[in-house]
Structure 1
Amino acid sequence: MKLVSWNVNGLRAVMKKGFMDFFEAVDADILCLQEIKLQKGQIDLKLPGYHTYWNYAEKKGYSGTAVFTKHQPLDVRYGVGLEEHDAEGRLITLEFPGFYLVNSYTPNSQHGLLRLSYRLLWEDKLLSYIQQLDLEKPVVLCGDLNVAHQEIDLKNPKANKKNSGFTPEERGKIDDFLNSGFVDTFRYFHPDERGHYSWWSYRSNCREKNVGWRIDYFIASNRLMGQMKSASIHTEVYGSDHCPVELQLSDSMT
């Protein structure tokens, strides 16, 4: 069972840059998107064989998430139950027989950390929400979590210690997740490998130089480790400042 997550930085824009070629080639069982940047009716996307679920931000051209799945879920939920967060369309939860899938687009702390307190509130609410789901069945959380967890997860850690996405506060929230019975699936399979990133600034040819950050994740309940087959990053896929990330689970999960 192949799960793929991608911050497309505008779905309408990436449609002009080979999205459908990637979609057909990757043949994901479940594809999760973040930062779709559109409202209902602004795209005509036909995906035969897939059930589609959308969570649009109230603000036009901003944020938003979507999930396309071959397997019809038992239930679908939107948001985490806080109006100030849910207006931005940042979360979709799908329940399947063997697990919950949570597609998340974590708020960016922004330049100067102007939104750090808002983001930390989101993190606490999300962890509480995930923990409640995990009491019922295992959880797979995926998406752009807007944080590089360890120094190995970005090219220039020393220069970014006080910058958005690598502050001690933000990194500590990932620690909270992993200390609560969850695993960073990419690091499970690639514990010490350097140079694996999923986001690159558009400035200074960062992608060509591989000056990047790994901020897109699949985080899973520890008890799913036996069902995990592989985790990878599709650095060959362009069209956004992010690239897709992938987790393969055993087919028994659905």
Structure 2
Amino acid sequence: MRIATFNVNGIRAAQRRGFEEWLADRRPDVVAIQEMRARASAVPPGVFGEYHLAYDEGELAGRNGVAVLTRCAPLAIRTWSGVALVQRPGETHTETVELDPVPLARGLGEFANEGRYLEVDLAEAPITVVSMYLPKGGLPAHLQKPGRMREAPDGGARYDRKMRFLSAFARQLTRARRTARARGRELLVMGDLNIAHTRHDVRNWRRSNQVEGYLPEEREWFDSILSPRTLVDVVRRQHPGVDGPYSWWSWLGQSFVNDVGWRIDYHLATPRLAGAVVAAGTDRDPAADRRMSDHAPVVVDYAF
């Protein structure tokens, strides 16, 4: 079973840059998508071909939005918001449907309608698949220096918000993992987590210790959700002790050409599923002018 995660940074832009060709060539069985950045009515008709679509667009116009594509109709779909667009291959309707609510861990309510979380129970395997988009965050107040930031100083508000999210989401992950196990299912959490976990996950790691996405407290949080008995970073297990494979490069300068990237897109699997991995890597675009997104798809083959 081939499963991919891809932050498309806007499905309409990704379509213009070759998303449909990638989908037809790689033929994944399941795709988790982040940053669709489109209202349901604006999703290009036919862009997902013969796949079933489940999509939570969220309430932030032009931002966020998570989806899961499957070859078979999923057995169940769940979102934090309690609604999703559900389309069979060839359908073009844009009406959302109400879903069974996901019980939310304390502290997640403020994020529930932002289009950050969608999970499906696969029909073809006992796996619950999650598409996840974490907040980017910002710097704590003591690291904010006017004139050295791309964004205006905010007193640490974006940083505080991300840390609130991480604290609550850790509790939600535990709940999701236990719920999947009770249903006889493995759990696979995929998406853009906006954190580079170790120094092998960011090229310029020495200079990044005071950059959002590589702050010590963010990496400590990542440590806390991984273990051989809970969730496993399957790409890192397949590529131990090496730099990359990166999944994000800035559009600016020569970052992509020089492979000055970050690994912030993940497959986190329960141990039995992680043990079934036979290949894992990043579909890095062949050239800077042929990039579909500032991210690259992360593709894993599971013999499950």
State TM-score, norm by structure 2. Answer: 0.78
Q: Render the CA deviation track for 1:63-115: whole Å, top value 9, x for unaligned.
A: 11111111322211112633321221001011235121111001001365541
C-alpha contact 2:285 2:292 (8 A) present in aligned 1:
no
Is the 8 Å Cα contact of residues 130 and 139 (structure 1) preserved in structure 2?
no
1:95 matched to 2:121: yes
**1:90 maps to amino acid:** R
Q: What's the TM-score once normalised by structure 1's chain length?
A: 0.93
Deviates more, 1:215-224 or 1:44-53: 44-53
- Give the structure 1 partner of residue 137 of structure 2: 109
- State the shift of 1:226 in Å: 2.7
Report how many residues are paired: 251
| Match among 138, 144, 158 for residue 186 of structure 2 | 138
Q: Are residues 1:245 and 2:245 paired?
A: no
Q: Secondary structure at the match of 1:100?
A: strand
3-state SS of 1:116 partner? helix
Deviation at 1:120, TM superposition (A): 2.0
Distance 1:209 1:189 in 2: 23
CA offset at residue 203 of structure 1?
1.4
Q: Partners of 1:123 and 1:3 in 2: how far apart?
A: 25
Q: What's the counterpart of residue 5 of structure 1?
A: 5
The separation in 1 between residues aligned to 2:167 and 2:302, in whole angstroms, is 27
Q: Does structure 1 retain, via aligned residues, the 8 Å contact 2:79–2:119?
A: yes
Secondary structure in structure 2 of the residue aligned to 1:125? helix
CA RMSD of aligned residues (A): 1.7
**Greater helix share, structure number:** 1
Cα distance in 1 for partners of 2:233, 2:173 equals: 15
The alpha carbon displacement at 1:48 in A equals: 4.2
User: Which of 169, 177, 183 pairs up with 2:217?
Assistant: 169
Bigger-Rg structure (1/2): 2
* Aligned counterparts, 1:68-217, within 5 A: 68-79=69-80, 81=104, 82-96=108-122, 97-110=125-138, 112=144, 114-135=157-178, 136=181, 137-179=185-227, 181-217=230-266
Unaligned runs of 5+ in 1: none
Shift in Å, 1:28: 0.7
Match of 1:50 in 2: 51
SS at match of 2:210: coil
Q: Which ranges in structure 2 are unaligned for 5 or more consecutive residues?
A: 81-101, 145-155
What is the rounded CA distance, in whole Å, between the counterparts of 2:137 and 2:4 in structure 1?
25
Letter in 1 for 2:160: S
What per-residue deviation string (whole Å, max 9, x for no partner) do you get for residues 115-148 of structure 1?
1222122223222222222222321110001011
Aligned residue number for residue 33 of structure 2:
33
The alpha carbon displacement at 1:195 in A equals 4.3
Query: Shift of the alpha carbon at 1:15?
Result: 1.0
CA distance in 2, matches of 1:221, 1:118: 28
Q: Is the 8 A contact 1:196 1:214 kept in 2?
A: yes
Partner SS, residue 131 of structure 1: helix
SS in 2 for 1:206: coil
**Residues in 2 aligned to 1:223 and 1:128: alpha-carbon distance in whole angstroms:** 21
For the 8 Å contact 1:11–1:38, the answer to whether it is kept is yes
More off after superposition, 176-185 vs 24-33: 176-185
Alpha-carbon distance between aligned partners in 2 of 1:144 and 1:60, rounded to the nearest angstrom: 19
Between the two proteins, what is the percent identity of the paired residues? 30
- Equivalent pair of 1:153/1:194 in contact (CA under 8 Å): yes
The alignment partner of 2:38 has SS state of coil
